[in-house]
Amino acid sequence: MPVNTEFKGIEYFEQTFKEQIGADGEIKTRDFVFQTLFGDGEGEAPVEADRYRLIWMPGCPHAHKVVITWKLLGLDKVISLGTTGILRTPTGWVFSEDPGEVDPVLQVHSLHELYLNTDPSFTGRSTVPSIVEVATKKVVNNNHYYIPQYLNTAWEKFHKENAPVLYPEDIREDIENLNRYVFTRVNEGFYKCGFARSQAQYERGYNRLFEALDFLEDHLEKRRFLFGDYITDTDIRLYPSLVRYYFAYHQVFRANRQRLSDFKNLWGYARDMYQTEGIRETTFFDEIKKHYQISPHLRPLWGNVHGLYAKGPDKEPWETPSGRERLSSHPEEKFRRR
């Protein structure tokens, strides 16, 4: 991993996120420029094996939830995965960890090249996750909020045998309602603390975030997962933020009323999620820490002038038993199956 030792100051942060945050740090709702639906209809992207490549960056929570879904459903057999480096350059994410810093399938150095190939007039910030059509090298969809739903529904014919049901039809409305809550109050909530440009905005974000975490802590008192015995789409949306809270947000985003490990239920729940086949393999603790702590566009947030990488917190506690199986009527099974 090439380490950028130059401290560029707050101007670089402001330039990177100029289209996403207001003057006081209020997070704006982003417009996703590539939103082709998957299906067999006119104008839709065909659901075909080996046609697409999913691009992610391991530090990004939005990309993480997509990759967890992709892995759990067995779609890694039909959609390939491309991984960018964790340090953003002025032009965005680059394939710095691949030989020659070029994605071996798409043969490009940066994600931004794919955005421009799709829309030569594009002037925004290229983001992960992005689903790219391999033959044309064009981005089909970059809407992180809805991609998990597409993978759960439109791609069902390619789900592995006995795949988990993460988006069950009988509770989809409830899942959608809680998804919105998790996204606006937790996923974005941490960023509203970290990206605030005024004390008032920071405290507003901080208070709403911890109000939500307190609600979820109580909600999980008698439930193993958010909807009871089984992991659903909503759990996969909450988990990436909890991992990053433990390793980065508490310090870098000043979300420091307490640590994740101070929440009895959320901490046990996060470990239970991590200790799940298909989730553990997609969770890269070191990359998450390094991304938030030494990325040039985030270093100014906590004055990391010299680009130091903190030793802690320890990773070992994530392996300790959660004990949350006691809350389940099916303790040996974390998923509802087809």
- Catalogue the active-site residues: 60, 191
Residue type, 319: E
The one-letter amino acid at 104: P
Strands 138-141 and 52-56: unpaired
Report how far residue 31's alpha carbon sits from residue 143's, in angstroms, rounded to the nearest whole number. 9
Rounded CA-CA distance 185/6 in Å is 34
CB 66 within 8 A of CB 54: yes
User: Is 38 in a helix, a strand, or coil?
Assistant: strand
Provide the pairing of β-strand 80-83 with 52-56: parallel
197-205 long-range contacts, Cβ below 8 Å, gap at least 24?
197/21, 197/22, 197/23, 197/24, 197/25, 198/24, 198/25, 200/24, 201/24, 201/25, 201/26, 202/25, 202/254, 205/25
Residue 190 · residue 297 · CB < 8 Å: no
DSSP result, 285-326 = HHHHHHHHHH-TTTGGGGT-TT------S-SGGGGS---GGG
Q: Rounded to an integer, what distance in angstroms lies between the CA atom of residue 197 and that of residue 311?
A: 28
| Closest alpha carbon to 30 in 121, 166, 142 | 142
Distance, CA of 189 to CA of 198 (rounded, Å): 15
Running DSSP on this structure, what letter comes out for residue 156? G
Widest CA span of the chain, in angstroms? Answer: 55
